[in-house]
Chain A
Amino acid sequence: MYVAVKGGERAINNAHRLLAEQRRGNKDIAEIETDQIEQQLSLSVTRVMAEGSLYDRDLAALAIKQARGDLIEAIFLMRAYRTTLPRFAFSKPIKTAEMDVSRRISATFKDLPGGQILGPTFDYTHRLLDFTLMANDEDPAEAPSGENPVDEHMPRVLDDILNYEGLIQDEPTPVDENAPVADLTREPIKFPAGRDLRLQNLSRGDEGFVLALGYSTQRGYANSHAFVGEIRYGTVSVEIEPEELGFAIDIGDIELTECETVNKFKGSKTKLPQFTRGYGLVFGQNERKSISMALVDRAMRANEMGEQIMGPAQDSEFVMEHSDNVQSTGFVEHIKLPHYVDFQGELELVRRMRAEVEARLSKRDADEAKSQSKAAE
């Protein structure tokens, strides 16, 4: 006897209960606290803020806890929360030139005004598992402070040093600070998209996707040979200018990593050759993402630079339509939803076509047999 399977609210509710139970894990182990996540898994927190497009460390920590450490799920939670928030104001453009720098390096000059500041980095750690962390008796000695204070106005390699000689394309900050900037969360994307929209898309794009595309540009799927002119990581203040006040007020600091790449030059017999540039900017300390972003930004400027498009990273429609991991994970995973109505249509068609081919083949066999027996007569 046939009994239809019912989805049912009870099944869903019980599935949610089981999920919560699995998230908690063994109750003999202390529950993780969101401030522990916020402090000790800080790079997860900043990734969730960056791709979730919402700078709130506590909410990001909560999202990570709720998502059982699945960062794309946590990013989705952040996005779904963000979308319900009213928009009070737009900030003034932030000034990364005035960043309170924790780390700043340039690969293009051995030494430079402001100096190379190594700061906190995995770069030169030996990737050996540190079993003292497993024993939970970590007590790191405090890192010593430098002897000299960090330059408050650290010159930027591209704008202040290379551009001084006119060696790099000039990209003045907008003359009008209040000029509108595109926002893909408020307006639908139209192609060709401006650079503001492309950069926003990359900044919230999936780290793995942007990394892979950036990598592809280094392997010949674009030709925009890049040097890291400068990476700086630190905090900058965010200002808004409420209509009723008429002057800007500081509403807080955010952590950012900025990467500017110096790319292959262009010029001609009559035009002075100049280096070109790529730009990356993300929340938190994330050099992998900011460098990748700068590579892809530069690659996507192919049209503007009159370059031949030879790789996916140069195709801004391809990049922008596939960079968002909340969109891609939803659509990739949606094929586990029931599709039996569509499948039924295909089943019916395939059966019909098979029957037609079989009928044709058996008729052919019969005809052949007939003509053979005729020939034999």
Chain B
Amino acid sequence: MEQTVNNPADNTSAYNFAYLDEQTKRMIRRTLLKAVAIPGYQVPFAGREMPMPYGWGTGGVQVTAAVIGPKDTLKVIDQGADDTTNAVSIRQFFAKTANVATTEKTAEASIIQTRHRIPEKELREDQVLVYQVPIPEPLRFLEPRETETRKMHALEEYGLMHVKLYEDIARHGHIATTYAYPVMVDDRYVMDPSPTPKFDNPKMHNMAALQLFGAGREKRIYALPPYTKVKSLDFEDHPFEVQSWDDECGMCGARDSYLDEVILDDKGNRMFVCSDTDYCSERQDAGHRGQQHHDQPLGGPKSSPSSEKAAE
């Protein structure tokens, strides 16, 4: 079933390599060069309609389409997992339109497109991480007007953001932001890290890989070059801290990874598993075991091809 092709007389070869036409790719590529030259600044670009809905990763898909070449190996994750439906759908899209190799292994990928997570495994210089971004403007919920927020970035006027965070502390005793936690890039631009949990924020700092951010509906692209200073906003008396769990991963026993809560019944029983499925299965392959592990092929993409594991 050809979901990306509207005309049954056509086939995918009627589209250019990686779907976008060359002119659109050039426009996005020029935007990307500006984005890496001005780290954390949101560069406007004439985002195109894509064959998947706005809000479902069209920004990330456009960035990936402009960057990807025939020799790349692509990994796509959503919530840290390779097998979530939208990740599967985007991976299929590129497998079909660019005929590139795909992988579920973080280490094997040259381009990783992600929604809401940064892989647990440290990324390398030869890798590119592409984020899908819904609302690129970190100040948007404080000031809805683009004309105003653009001025605030130009003047480096970030007082409003600090006031908001401090109000949290006054009310709750904490900064009550757990994801999309704003960061300061190279001491200049306040940037939205996309709705990744703040657990992932420290990974952005001085990362060896290039990080690219695409917001399709809002038509903005921004970037973090490798080895760029990224600091989560905080206060001296309330320093930034990441989430921690009292539990460990039920499958691989990891205590250092971001955990998802799985509800086991309606009596309050629950367990935790790694959100990064590749990290979890790699640990299981290495013999690590959590309390809920039953030596069954579960939790992670151990066997391939992935389609055989699909449970409906």
Contact with B along A176-207 (1 / 0, CB 8 A): 00000000111111111000000000000000
- In the assembly, what is the distance between CA of A337 and CA of B84, in Å? 9
Residues of B within 8 A of A122 (CB): none
Task: Tell me the smallest distance from the CB of B234 to a CB of chain A, in Å.
Answer: 15
For A80, A187, A352, A353, the residue with the greatest tally of chain B CB atoms inside 10 Å of its CB is A80
| 0/1 interface trace, chain A 1-45, chain B, CB 8 Å (1 if under) | 111111111111110110010000000000000000000000000
A351 to chain B: closest CB distance in Å? Answer: 10
Which of A63, A189, A341 contacts B260 (CB under 8 A)? A341
The reply to whether B195 and A81 contact each other, CB–CB distance below 8 Å, is no
Count B-side interface residues using an 8 Å CB cutoff.
80
Bound Cα distance from A81 to B15, whole angstroms: 11
- Tell me which of A326, A348, A353 contacts B172 (CB under 8 A): A353
> Do B56 and A79 have beta carbons less than 8 Å apart?
no
Residues 59-83 of A, flagged 1 when their CB comes within 8 A of B and 0 if not, give 1001100100000000011011111
**Which A43-58 residues have C-beta < 8 A from chain B?**
none
- Listed stretches B40-48, B123-131, B153-161; interface member: B40-48
Closest to B294 in A: A1
Across the interface, A83 reaches (CB within 8 A) one of B50, B262, B275, namely B50
* Cβ contacts under 8 Å, A185 to chain B: 46, 48
Interface pair A84/B298, CB less than 8 Å apart: no
A372 close to chain B: CB less than 8 A: no
- Is A191 a contact partner of B147 (Cβ separation < 8 A)? yes
- Cβ contact within 8 Å between B273 and A341: no
Contact with B along A101-127 (1 / 0, CB 8 A): 000000000000000000000000000
In the complex, chain B residues whose CB is within 8 Å of the CB of A83: 24, 48-50
Interface flag for A253 (CB, 8 Å): no
CB neighbours (8 Å) of B46 from chain A are 184-188
Determine whether the beta carbon of B217 is less than 8 Å from that of A327.
yes
Identity of the chain A residue whose Cβ is nearest the Cβ of B91 in the assembled complex: A9
Q: Which residues of B lie under 8 Å from residue A337 when comparing CB positions?
A: 55-56, 78, 86, 115
Is the Cβ of A11 less than 8 Å from the Cβ of B85?
A: yes
Q: What is the interface of chain A mostly: helix, strand, loop, or mixed? A: helix
Q: A330-B55, A349-B178 are in contact. Are A7 and B49 (CB under 8 A)?
A: no
CA distance A14 to B259 in the complex (A): 30
Q: Which residues of A contact B (CB under 8 A)?
A: 1-14, 16-17, 20, 59, 62-63, 66, 76-77, 79-84, 86, 184-192, 317, 321, 326-327, 329-334, 337-342, 344-349, 352-353, 356
The 8 closest A-B pairs by CB, nearest first: A8-B310, A334-B55, A330-B54, A345-B178, A330-B53, A188-B44, A7-B85, A331-B55
Q: Which residues of B contact A (CB under 8 A)?
A: 1, 3, 6-7, 15, 19, 21, 23-24, 44-51, 53-56, 58, 78-81, 83-89, 92, 115-117, 134, 145-147, 172-174, 176, 178-180, 195-199, 217, 219, 243, 245, 250-251, 258-262, 264, 271, 273, 275, 292, 294, 296, 298-300, 306-307, 309-312
Given pairs A330-B56, A345-B243, 12 additional interface contacts (CB within 8 A): A8-B83, A10-B307, A12-B89, A76-B49, A77-B6, A84-B15, A329-B53, A329-B54, A332-B55, A338-B79, A342-B180, A349-B178
